[in-house]
Chain A
Amino acid sequence: MAAHKTRIPKLEDFPPADDPIVIEGDDVTAFLESMAAGPVDEEYLLECDRVYERLYRDEPANDLFR
């Protein structure tokens, strides 16, 4: 197979898009509301954190089975 030299792109290879996507203001709020499956239960998330902090130890489990 012939040697292939990769051309490194230069800044001018990436002109500004003619029609950039701009998302701002109310659109962002609408996005966040529409994307959520439902109201996020913040209390549940905090309880998840508490369970994790109580149970997890950042060491391999392997030695626990000796």
Chain B
Amino acid sequence: MELRRLKGPFEPHVQRAIEAFDCGNSEVNGFLRHYAEPIVDHRLGTVLVLVEDGEILSFVSLSFASVSLTNAEKGVFRAVTTAYGAVRIGSIGTATRHQGRSCGSALLQATVARARRVSETVGLRYLVADANQERVSWYREHGWVANRSRKEQDRLAGRALTSMRFDLGSSTR
């Protein structure tokens, strides 16, 4: 099992591996099938895949973003900026036949580590994700919290999603 990035354009054998991927969520499957290639091709995001024996076990898409905090969370820095740098998990999924192997957890941990490396070069404090309701507890188990700022809540108004973040911490490695 190894983690690598997808590079565009996707050759036919890559498309076949993507077509074979099924995490049980049509929206997540659809992202990988229809949006991953143009996103990677145009540098709008990165797609990391956990691969074993030529099969995609899990994938995650990453891009830069920002997150709004409440004034209380921002503390004295509320006068300086309104949003803080983050890496956004746009989509994440594990193939149904490999669920139960903690592939998603490993991918999430690897994503945290990758973001920590980026934070050494560009100011970056958080990971963010819009979690489906059934995934909120999974993110919480991995140390994520719900965003409470009005801006984050308004952004997802009417959608069954929760804006969440993970704090990469203030210390450097």
**Chain A interface residues (CB < 8 Å from chain B):** 21, 23, 27-28, 30-38, 40-42, 44-45, 47-49, 51-53, 55-62, 64-66
Interchain CA distance A23-B106 in the complex, whole Å: 38
A59 / chain B contacts, CB cutoff of 8 Å: 4
Does B3 reach chain A (CB closer than 8 Å)? yes
Pick from A47, A56, A59 the residue with the most CB of B within 10 Å: A56
Interface size on B, residues (CB 8 A): 44
Q: By the criterion CB–CB under 8 Å, are B14 and A38 in contact?
A: no
Known: A41-B143, A56-B3. A64 touches B51 (CB 8 A): yes
Top 9 A-B pairs ranked by shortest CB distance? Answer: A52-B113, A34-B75, A61-B4, A60-B7, A40-B169, A55-B3, A65-B17, A48-B112, A48-B109
- CB contact between A55 and one of B50, B116, B145, B166 (< 8 Å): that residue: B50
Mark interface residues in B1-40 (1 if CB within 8 Å of A CB, else 0).
1111111001101101100000000000000000000000
- CB contact between B106 and one of A33, A55, A60 (< 8 Å): that residue: A55
Interchain CA distance A51-B74 in the complex, whole Å: 31
Q: By the criterion CB–CB under 8 Å, are A65 and B77 in contact?
A: no
- CB contact between A35 and one of B11, B74, B106, B171 (< 8 Å): that residue: B74
Q: By the criterion CB–CB under 8 Å, are A62 and B143 in contact?
A: no
For this complex, 30 residue pairs linking A to B, each with C-beta atoms less than 8 Å apart, are A28-B76, A34-B74, A34-B75, A36-B167, A37-B165, A37-B166, A38-B143, A45-B113, A45-B169, A48-B109, A48-B110, A51-B109, A51-B110, A51-B113, A52-B113, A53-B113, A55-B3, A56-B3, A57-B2, A57-B3, A57-B4, A58-B4, A59-B4, A61-B6, A61-B7, A62-B10, A62-B14, A64-B2, A64-B4, A66-B54
